[in-house]
Amino acid sequence: MIEKGRLTVRQLGSLMFLCTIGEQIIVFPSMITSYAHQDAWLSALLGVAGGAGILSIMLVVYKLQPRMNLIQHALHTLGPWIGAFISCFYLFYFLMGTSAFIREIGDFMTTQILPESPLFIVNLLFVFTLVWGLLSGLEPIGRSAEVFLPLIVLFLLILTVCLFPQSHLDNIKPVLGEGFLNPFKGFVAVLTYPYCELCIFLMLFPYAKKEAHWEKDILLAAIIGGLMLTLTLTICLLVMGPFMTQHHWFAAFNLSLKINIGNSLQRIEAFMASVWIIAVFFKSILFFYSFVLGITHLFKLSSYRPLILPGALLVLAMSIVLAPNENFYLKVVIPYWIDWDLTCGIAIPLLLIMVHKLRVRLRKS
């Protein structure tokens, strides 16, 4: 087997949680509120249940071929031609996903933290951390996730508690005041961005130690991650209102600027930025890992390590040319990403399940 590292269930659950919140912890409130307005909290809450269903589908796909990752499974189930096409489709998805996350980090840093810094330099530094992390191996990535997980959860809970006195229930009223269509659109967006992108774990499941109740543990990690996103979105609505939440792309970051407890606890936005960067790092490195590992299996190479550096250069270039500016990224790239996520997270996994069962039935007959 090309990957010799092994993840424990706790490490896999930690990565599942961090990838669920990922880049969404800051942009999720604005994104969902743009669809559902004051009912965005309801869309997010319902989306947690739907997301658990999507992850259940992915677990079914994995259990059909428990020794194969997603690329191997596609080649085995769909044949060398169709399987290779689907594999290339996923590889491009992993590549663009990594590039998009890096671009979000770059846009955030150059607009909110380091406005005088060039986008290329910020992206280059982040890509360097991805290369360093991936060269360290899969197990160190999992152990690092275990370390950072409690710190991130603790900070997000402190953020919520500190802002609760500034909340106003009138900001989320009237409930369903605009009907069911907008909350449904928000529900679809919730399914898409945090949960469909968890298809990268179909590349990781074969390299995890299967302990008792491991499936329930990772489902619980994804659900808790979804609830954390829902909590962040809700506190944004309660404090800032739907209009300000919708029109601040980095809404959760702007929310952290409002904390002021006795003129002593304030200006903690740097901590919020750190939490977000850490979460994006883990999601980016798993997408990047899936990209180089998938190429290795598709072309039957002996190791993915020689692909890390050229892959990093490709990712860096794509993060720059992905969009000419932030406005183009928000107005063009993000809306159409839903279709891509739904295809990779739901449509193709269901196709793999149906083809596998059809082949088994034909073999028996």
- What is the distance between the terminal CA atoms of the chain, rounded to a whole angstrom? 33
DSSP state of 137: -
Q: What is the DSSP string of 166-215?
A: G--GGGG-STTTT-SHHHHHHHHHHIIIIIGGGGGGGGTGGGB---TTHH
* Residues 84 and 75 sit within 8 Å (Cβ to Cβ): yes
What pLDDT is attached to residue 266? Answer: 67
Give SS3 for 208.
Answer: strand
* Residues 18 and 145 sit within 8 Å (Cβ to Cβ): yes
Instruction: Report the alpha-carbon distance of residue 62 to residue 77 in Å, rounded.
Output: 12
In the chain, the amino acid numbered 280 is: V
pLDDT bracket for residue 89 (50, 70, 90): very high
In the chain, the amino acid numbered 230 is: T
Express each pLDDT in 284-305 by its tens digit. 999 999 999 999 999 988 888 9
Q: Which two tokens stand for residue 252?
A: 């959760």
What pLDDT is attached to residue 309? Answer: 93
User: Between these two residues, 256 and 287, which has the higher pLDDT value?
Assistant: 287
Distances (CA, A) of 151 to 78, 146, 278: 43, 10, 11
**Domain residue extents for the chain:** 16-354
Mean pLDDT of 183-191: 87
Mean pLDDT of 254-273: 73
What pLDDT is attached to residue 125? Answer: 92
Express each pLDDT in 25-45 by its tens digit. 888 888 888 888 888 889 889
Mean pLDDT of 345-357: 92
Examine residue 174 and say whether the peptide bond preceding it is cis (omega within 30 degrees of 0). yes
> Which CATH number applies to 16-354?
1.20.1740.10
Give SS3 for 213.
Answer: coil
* Residues 44 and 229 sit within 8 Å (Cβ to Cβ): yes
pLDDT bracket for residue 329 (50, 70, 90): low
* Residues 23 and 101 sit within 8 Å (Cβ to Cβ): yes
User: Between these two residues, 229 and 1, which has the higher pLDDT value?
Assistant: 229
Predicted TM-score (pTM) of the model is 0.93
* Residues 24 and 18 sit within 8 Å (Cβ to Cβ): no
User: Between these two residues, 262 and 118, which has the higher pLDDT value?
Assistant: 118
* Listed residue (258, 249, 331) closest to 29, CA to CA: 249
User: Between these two residues, 365 and 122, which has the higher pLDDT value?
Assistant: 122
Q: Which of 80-84, 253-257, 328-332 is modeled with the greatest confidence? A: 80-84
Helix (DSSP H) and strand (DSSP E) numbers for the chain: 14, 2
Q: Which two tokens stand for residue 134?
A: 């991936």
* Residues 29 and 233 sit within 8 Å (Cβ to Cβ): yes
Instruction: Report the alpha-carbon distance of residue 85 to residue 101 in Å, rounded.
Output: 24
What pLDDT is attached to residue 92? Answer: 94
Mean predicted lDDT score pLDDT of the chain? 86
Q: Is the pLDDT of residue 217 over 60?
A: yes
What pLDDT is attached to residue 264? Answer: 65
